Amino acid sequence: YTSRRKNPYGPFPLPIIGNLHQLGYAVWKTGGIVSGFQEIRKRYGNVFTLWFGPLPTVYIADYAVAHETHVKRANTFSARWAIGGLNYIREGRGIIGSNGEFWREHRRFALQTLRNFGLGKNVMEERIMEEFYYRITDFQSQNGEIIVHAGTFFDLLVGSIINKLLVSERFEKDDEEFEKLKNNLARAFESLSIIDAFTPLPLLKSRFMAWRTKKVFAPLDFVLKMTEKTVQKKIAAVKNGDVELDGDGDDFVEAFLIKMAKDNKDGVKNSSFTLDTLTIDIYDLWLAGQETTSTTLTWACACLLNNPHVVRKLREELLGVTRAAGREHVSLTDRTITPYLNATINEVQRISSILNVNLFRVMEEDTIIDGQPISSGTVFTTQLAMIHTDETLFKDHEQFDPERFIDDTGLEKKLIPFGIGKRSCPGESLARAELYLILGNLALKYDLEPVGGQVPLIKTSSPFGLMKRPPNYSVRLVPVGDKLL
Ligand code: HEM
């Protein structure tokens, strides 16, 4: 009773199980995690507490409250909560699960390095377009016509873009290691649940939990081993002189090795930039950057297949812009003059809201949220998917309607697929560049046709998972030809 008074209002918890029974019922009744949370919100308001056993967790389901807390009082709301599954492999390293000075240094370094890729001759755009054309040609030459399994196509495309930026390597279609990597990732994402996030690390690592951790974390261990192998290969290439380190470096690993050498030269004591932390940084960037972007693109393609009129409108806008510039492809420099493409990407990110449950943070001091107390040590998160399905902001939220962002230009601010505040996504610039160039150029150059005459519904295959997985489908890309370009 005393603890309940120190945190926002919520359903009455039972000893040992807390609110698991009420949450379980709401999720079962409504058919999904996000709709289950919405059910609880209807009764308890925009900020509510749910007890996971003895642990209170607070959910922010309103944009104005998220802004007031995460932006206006950013320092109070920026610590990551990572005592459970999130730190099973990381153990306080990397960017996603770390805190304090280590987190600040590694996040700043990642942001700076990604920003450098987008400056000057824009390595980011160059590599995205190079991979886009490579992948299209690759699928075309193998099949005669371009029929792609959407998930596989975007996995390979996004995987290769991020790998090129991290270690200057691309994945190939018949690459067995990539196949294994993807299968392991899919297994991990399918079996990872909110309970794993909340089980304390010592318990997760104990033999009592071996039956569970083997299933959930062995695939992630595999991903880590592959990351280690790739990083080692790159280091060997630097050592034997095949790769020369100069300037800011050609990829993330090179930039990191340059930073390590600089810290060493400057006599920095106990620098946090070591070969061990390099591997975990790469693991984090790969894990956070691959599945999220590929999943969003697979959703995007499903939205376009369901709405051919949007493709027509996009093409009209993009033809005008590229013709005026005398170019054959959409470029990042067009972003300010393509309102319809921008609106379409916004709507894709809104309707797909790929995280059913956002990453958790922890309060480091007692404070007030939306007039209610919240105590130090309480775990909380801003539920992005709840904000994106808030009827008061996004009317008819189940409809895919890019025009909503054209009719109301202020709406874009309330769309926060990359999170909000100091822990928001550092890969946002890269992800935005990928979505813009890939979707823009697909819509400009190809008609999208469903294979087998069936258009996939915008329905998730994992309403109870942490991630909202897209439908499984194939698509035919029909070139619109030179007459239009
Ligand atoms: C469409 C694609 C993406 C989406 C929707 C997305 C979304 C998010 C969200 C919601 C968070 C959590 C923010 C919070 O704590 O509130 C996050 C964190 C993070 N993302 Fe992304 N992300 C995407 C792509 C990427 C890419 C391409 C990278 C890297 C290259 C990346 C790296 C990270 C990292 C390292 C974090 C942890 C940040 C921290 O704790 O300080 N993400 N992302």
ipTM tops 0.90: yes
Are 235 and 117 spatial neighbours (Cβ–Cβ below 8 Å)? no
Long-range Cβ contact pairs of 173-177 (< 8 A, separation 24 or more): 173/138, 173/139, 173/142, 177/226
pLDDT exceeds cutoff 70 at 144? no
The pLDDT confidence band at residue 208, using thresholds 50, 70 and 90, is confident
Question: Measured from the CB, is residue 107 less than 6 Å from ligand 1?
Answer: yes
Q: For residue 214, name the pLDDT band (cuts at 50, 70, 90).
A: confident
| Average pLDDT, rounded, for the chain | 90
The reply to whether 40 falls in a domain is no
Gyration radius of the chain's alpha carbons: 23
Share of the chain above pLDDT 90, in %: 66
Report which protein residue has its CA nearest ligand 1's atom 26: 289
In a domain, 186, yes or no: yes
pLDDT at 416 over 90: yes
Q: What is the pLDDT of residues 165-175, one digit of tens each?
A: 998 888 877 78
Q: Are strands 379-382 and 55-60 parallel, antiparallel or unpaired?
A: parallel
Q: What is the CATH number of the domain that holds 203?
A: 1.10.630.10
Q: In the prediction, which pLDDT does 463 show?
A: 77
Which domain does 342 fall in, by range? Answer: 62-90+100-353+389-479
Q: Range with the lowest mean pLDDT among 41-45, 259-263, 439-443, 453-457?
A: 453-457
Q: Of 336, 323, 349, 352, give the one whose Cα is nearest residue 444.
A: 323
Atom of ligand 1 at shortest distance to CA of 423? Answer: 41
pLDDT of 484 reads 55
Whether 354 lines ligand 1, by a CB cut-off of 6 Å, is yes
Please tell me the predicted confidence (pLDDT) of residue 170.
84
- Rounded to the nearest angstrom, the distance between the alpha carbon of 247 and the centre of ligand 1 is 27
Is the residue at 27 inside a domain? no
Measuring CA to CA, how many Å separate 345 from each of 79, 113, 318, 349?
A: 30, 25, 14, 6
What residue's CA is closest to ligand 1, atom 18?
Answer: 425
Specify the residue with its C-alpha closest to ligand 1, atom 21.
425
237-253: average pLDDT = 89
- Residue range 444-472, pLDDT digits in tens: 999 999 887 777 777 777 777 778 888 88
In a domain, 382, yes or no: no
Cα distances from 321 to residues 70, 298, 316, 445, 483, in angstroms, run 37, 25, 9, 14, 16
**CA within 13 Å, CB half, 30:** 17
Residue type, 204: L
Integer Cα distance of 137 and 268 in angstroms = 48
Q: How confident is the model at residue 198 (pLDDT cuts 50, 70, 90)?
A: confident
Taking the complete model, does pTM exceed 0.95, yes or no? no
Q: Is 97 in the pocket of ligand 1 (CB under 6 A)?
A: no
User: What ligand 1 atom has the least distance to the C-alpha of 422?
Assistant: 41
Three-state secondary structure call for residue 57: strand
Say if 469 falls within a structural domain: yes
For residue 400, the model assigns a pLDDT of 95
Of 91-100, 105-114, 238-247, the one with minimum mean pLDDT is 238-247
Region 237-247: what's the mean pLDDT? 89
Question: Using a 6 Å cutoff on CB, does residue 359 contact ligand 1?
Answer: yes
Distance CA 87, CA 206 (A): 14
What pLDDT score does 388 carry?
96
The band of 237, judged by pLDDT with boundaries at 50, 70 and 90, is very high
pLDDT of residue 204: 84
Q: Which of 349, 392, 374, 396 lies closest to 59 in space, CA to CA? A: 374
Q: How confident is the model at residue 311 (pLDDT cuts 50, 70, 90)?
A: very high
Highest mean pLDDT among 116-120, 122-126, 396-400, 436-440: 436-440
Phi-psi region of 227 (alpha: psi -120 to 50; beta: other; left: phi over 0): alpha
Q: Is 156 in the pocket of ligand 1 (CB under 6 A)?
A: no
- Structure confidence by residue, pLDDT tens digits, 284-294: 999 899 989 99
pLDDT(180) > 90: no
Taking each helix axis as running N to C, give the angle between helix 428-445 and helix 308-325, from 0 to 180 degrees, rounded to the nearest 10. 100
Is the per-residue pLDDT at 193 higher than 80?
no
Residue with more model confidence, 129 or 409? 129
380, part of any domain: no
Residue 312 lies in a domain: yes
Ligand 1 contact via 440 beta carbon (within 6 Å)? no
How far apart are the CA of 289 and the centre of ligand 1, in A? 7
Annotated binding residues: 425
Q: Which of 280, 292, 468 to mutate to test the pocket of ligand 1 (most atoms within 8 A of CB)?
A: 292
Residues 101-116 pLDDT 10s: 999 999 999 999 998 8
Q: Is residue 54 part of a domain?
A: no
Ligand 1, atom 41, residue with closest C-alpha? 423
Number of compact structural domains in the chain: 1
